[in-house]
A = this chain, B = another copy of it.
Amino acid sequence: MYTVEIKVMPLKELLDPQGKAVMGGLENLGLKGVEDVRIGKNITLKVNAESPEKALAIAEEASRKLLSNQVMEYFELRVL
């Protein structure tokens, strides 16, 4: 059993309105120093596979087909 962590983030070229809203919230709280906020998803999968490579392949397929919208997001995978 392998744990694969998937990070799904808005493409760097795109605005991130949720991040901008959080940034406003931090300013309202009086928190200084934060210059940019970007918000995405963090997904962990427990995958039953024979090898880390196979677990990654399954996670990659899940990310492509269901977990990310590649028009607006990119994803990164990591076996923990």
The chain A residues found within 8 Å of chain B, CB to CB, are 1, 7-9, 19, 22, 25-26, 29, 31-49, 54-55, 58, 61-62, 65-67
Tell which of A8, A9, A46 has the most Cβ of chain B within 10 Å: A46
Copies of this chain, count: 2
Q: Contact: A45 with B37, CB < 8 Å?
A: yes
Q: Contact: B58 with A22, CB < 8 Å?
A: no
Q: Contact: B61 with A22, CB < 8 Å?
A: no
How far is A67 from B65 in the complex, measured between Cα atoms in Å? Answer: 28
Partner of A33, one of B26, B38, B47, B65: B47
Residues of B within 8 A of A19 (CB): 43
How far is A43 from B9 in the complex, measured between Cα atoms in Å? Answer: 9
